[in-house]
Amino acid sequence: MKFTSSCLIFLLLGAASGPSSAAKSPLFEDDSVMKAVLTAPISQAYAQKNQDVRIYFPGQWTYIDSEGATQRLDVSIRTRGNFRREYCKLPPLQLNFKKSQVGGTDFAGQNKLKLVAPCDSRRSAEEKVVLEYLAYRTFEILTDHSFKTRLIRLSYVDSDQKKTPWTTLGFVIEDDSDVADRLGLQKNHVPLVEFYELDQARSALVDLFMFLIANSDYSMLRGSEDEDCCHNIEVMVPDDADGGVIPIPYDFDMSGLVYARYAAPPKNLPIKSVRTRYYKGLCQPPEVLSAALDHVRSKQVEVIALYTNTNELDEKPRAKAVAYVEEFFEILNSTRRVEREIMRRCRGQDHLDAMR
């Protein structure tokens, strides 16, 4: 199927993003930094981080709502994730709220939320979390088909008093089921996705975004061993089944933008640092790639402003992040570099030729 550039840009902008009547979540409609306190047996939850089966521990979530009032909700916590759960001294948590309590609050409609937090107590670890949050926000600028996030200045209080209270920045991520409902999509539980099944316009956009943040830790075609497709990509399909598989990325801690201490490039790529951008996107028809490139270029000012105007990074890491993003747009604004660093490095040209 052939598309004009204007049609592809229309799709990328999210104009056909699903039912407009989908309920909005107050939590993710506000981009201010929420202030909250988590009181729970945190030390007990952390002690289970290396266990395959981990139980939820009951606690309390106290926060300042959009009206400036203090609100309290029951919440249960447990450690979550794969690599970070095992590696981090302070592993990420799953928050489980009670739907019967959240009505009429900033958490209306929420149940389970992933909380991303610093790996340890160093300031540099907090900076990595802010950068990952900005990566999510960057993709939100590029398309509605993305996970929404909310930054939180969270104080941790261990009810067992085994840990001294501490406060740091973290963020919560929209649940994948809520993303599907918001966009009129269905989660696609399959072992793999074939090249021809992908929504070309949206997969091209994902690949360019991953190039922007220098992330190679993803796949739109395969999952990790013994897991559904795909690796760090949620794949969804339209409710009416009229359209290709839509990839929605998450988990950007291995990217060059974030540059976590443990991040390393895949062994099959000819680079030594994740900071080095190397395009591993799928080959697309020229009109598809051209439209995706034009769309991302059209967002240059807005994307750079996101990093320039963030108050959650100190001056030096903020300037470093801005320069890193500007380097990406220098590539996109050079016909020669687009040809050399993107078009000549795409994967799956034989699959693309077979579709024609």
Q: Are 12 and 292 in contact (CB under 8 A)?
A: yes
**Cβ-Cβ contacts under 8 Å for 4 (sequence gap 6 or more):** 287
First to last CA, the chain: 9
Residue at token pair 């909250």: 36
* Per-residue pLDDT at 73: 98
Q: Residue 220: what are its φ and ψ, rounded to 5°?
A: -95, 0
Each residue's pLDDT expressed in tens, for the chain with a length of 356 residues: 444 444 444 444 444 344 433 456 899 999 999 999 999 999 999 999 989 899 999 999 999 999 999 999 999 999 998 888 988 999 999 999 999 999 999 999 999 999 999 999 999 999 999 999 999 999 999 999 999 999 999 999 999 999 999 999 999 999 999 999 999 999 998 999 999 999 999 999 999 999 999 999 999 999 887 788 999 999 999 987 667 999 999 999 999 999 999 999 999 999 999 999 999 999 999 999 999 999 999 999 999 999 999 999 999 999 999 999 999 999 999 999 999 999 999 998 876 766 66
- pTM for the model stands at 0.93
